[in-house]
Structure 1
Amino acid sequence: MQDWHVHSGFCPHGSGRSTEEILLERMEQGATLVGFAEHAPFPEGCIDPSPLRDSAIRAQDVEPYLDEVERLREKYAARCDVRIGFEFDYLPGYETTIQDFIDRYGHRMDHALLSLHCLHDRCVDFSAAEMKRLLDDHFSGNVVLLYHDYYQTLARAIRSPWRFPFPVAIGHFDLVKKFRPDFPIDPAVALEAALPALEALAGRGLTVEINTSGLKKPCQEIYPTRAIIAELQKRGVRLQYGSDTH
């Protein structure tokens, strides 16, 4: 098993376990490749939208994180292929700052995830209450409009002229559905809203992850939906597994 979405002991909203403990757990679960993808620090001047301000690691923890995963890669080389990476939050207007981070640390990275966790300075995955505030403040409570905005923003992230010197996957493609029981939407309407992001993938060489963490969330479904997976396969988009372990 290859698990390309694993967080470390440096994650501020993690389980509190050490990076080594997390690696050992993934290995015990059968992973022969573990891709650490810690949340990259938010760009300077960008306020973390999480009410707990715990979305990403601190800038001062970047090199200690890289050093620790490199240490573990050497220690467990005979048992597991350990890869080093980051999960980048797409933040409109901060593309240059994100690219600067990639340019600075890319030589120490093997892969990355590009994800969309927030819109209009609100987290779509923090809580149902935060989702309702986002809906009420920016979409007059209309969940369909929110889905369209989410996927249009994701399409913008996909189309941005990144210079990635390593493989990149889109993380939890339809994270916006996390609190779907509280904010229901017709599956066909949700799929239609996703089309701009699906179409943006054409010719980009990006992978999309099958993220199983959704099974433990209110939506009780992997990310993305089977309907989206079918569209991805129809388009020849590569898929990879990620547990999103914290």
Structure 2
Amino acid sequence: MDAGDWVSIGSGGVALLAAAFAFWQAKTATKSANHAGRQAQAAEDQLSIARDQVQQAERVHREQLALAERVHRERNEPYVVVDIGPDQPGSSLLVLSIHNIGPTMARDVRIQVTPALESSHASLTPRLANAVSRTIPMLPPNRRLVYAFDGPQRWGGDLPMRYDFTVEAHGPQGAVETLTYTVDLETLAGYLVGERPLKRIEEHVGKIGGHLDALADAYEKANSEAIRAHRQRMSEQMRQGTDDHTGL
């Protein structure tokens, strides 16, 4: 082979080496690109997870804030309760009561009842209808409106024994949640015969008697000398009167 052939062989070898090097570089670049792609995807996944965590934290914060606001509002809202029950423990008189047990003023109180209120006393029925049909302009905290409803004869007739009351009202922050109460008069049947009507009066009289006895004992102890002297004077006066009568 002459010099030209060797040059050709050398040039071919160099070209082959250059091609092999270019292939290695391309393969390395491809691996680097794949690795960079995986890193980019991992970074994107981490970013997505972080975004979800932030959104969840914001959602939890909003829910907690809404719950705190609701609790604060409910603690400062009026609560109007409608009920039917004995006027006093042991009393046979049933009354309809409208009571604001909340801490704030109730305004524009509206009551709906199903079925319509009826009493065995015909004169009470229109009064009861008027009590629940009109709008109550205001009901201060702990204010209780009471209306005569019925008596023990309620259980001897065919009048309704179950009523559903719906109450709407406004508080300091606007309309409050609509409340619904169910009153079942059958649950009171046994209660009304369980206590003497005058039992509470008897208990109060007994307490007053006990207080008077204690007061008398305390007074006698504090003024024992004066009481003894007074009794001695009375005894002497009685003895002198007896002596004078005997001398006559």
Shorter-chain-normalised TM-score: which range?
under 0.3
Looking at secondary structure, tell me which structure has more helix per residue. 2
- TM-score, normalised by the number of residues in structure 2: 0.23
- TM-score, normalised by the number of residues in structure 1: 0.23
The answer to which structure, 1 or 2, has the higher relative contact order (CA under 8 A, 6+ apart) is 1
